[in-house]
A and B are shown apart, each in its own frame.
Chain A
């Protein structure tokens, strides 16, 4: 038996937001692309900047940095295009990141009840303990419009 099977290794993509690194399960990542023009139009959903065009598909851009590191990104190097699940439906969502991404194999420790909802688990890499993100709770979706009605009332249109 190999060490890999004993440890139940999984693939993760490490992404950088400012000074911090986070991880997303590699199976949830479609691709990493250079920043392109963001098309903005009025809407009332917080955290969504607009959409980008990628291979003929219209992909929403969701900046999760404010929620994770407490401030919006001033520069961005790539968009990490991730697959977001909405019940049985799956859609792409583009997440701006500030640095290179890295593919690693690691063992994930499950999240505990005391962890924030966006934490799917934890992994150890290069001496750092890194949060594995649960994109379904981090990016907006139909359920959240019901869960956070106050946000709906106060949100301003984002042209």
Chain B
């Protein structure tokens, strides 16, 4: 863990009084509190930093160590702890005479990492909900056409979850009780999953409606007929009206995307005709087009 200048975090000078620390902390907390900055990871990170700074600077013992040892203040804590342990345990329990990994960076991070909705120094003993975890799930548009189950690994734990059909790109869903351990026996935090949906299907999704441009040959457009068109779930036969214009749209009701958490409800599919003009005309074809042209003029 990189050294953080706690005074700088709170915008204070080293000689700041206890009341100045308290005032600065409260001011910064009001600005960066995660409850006031929903879905803002930067604010959450900053809030953890200011809590960490406050935990250290508002505690006279920790502040003393911090002022004395600077970036090594945690190391000093280990020395003290090791000394205490030395008094209690036999020397042989230590192989190297070192610090025995009593207080690692990870321990430190976990302790302070639980600040969001977690235990604060002044509220020791109070039960608090554990930390909310954030995760990102990348899926393809095809994956979310049907409600399906996925297994996610969060902090080494496998979580099986149901992903409702029609979930949107950038949407966040909350899975209760799958976050960090509660503080002092409080309930577990939640798992917040943000969905990142990629689309390489050839269909455009807007809301619950799907859009696609399809080719139509000139003669079917002019004379009408039947074509086969691709929908998201398979091919369908379509009747084309005579004299269909380029850019004309047809709506296939209920052939769009499923509506989120509304089983059996679907958006529509809009197909846009793009009329393909014939190329490499034969002499006979040119002759006939000239004739048509004369009739029209």
- A, B in one complex: no
Q: List residues of B whose CB falls within 8 A of some A CB.
A: none
Q: List residues of A whose CB falls within 8 A of some B CB.
A: none
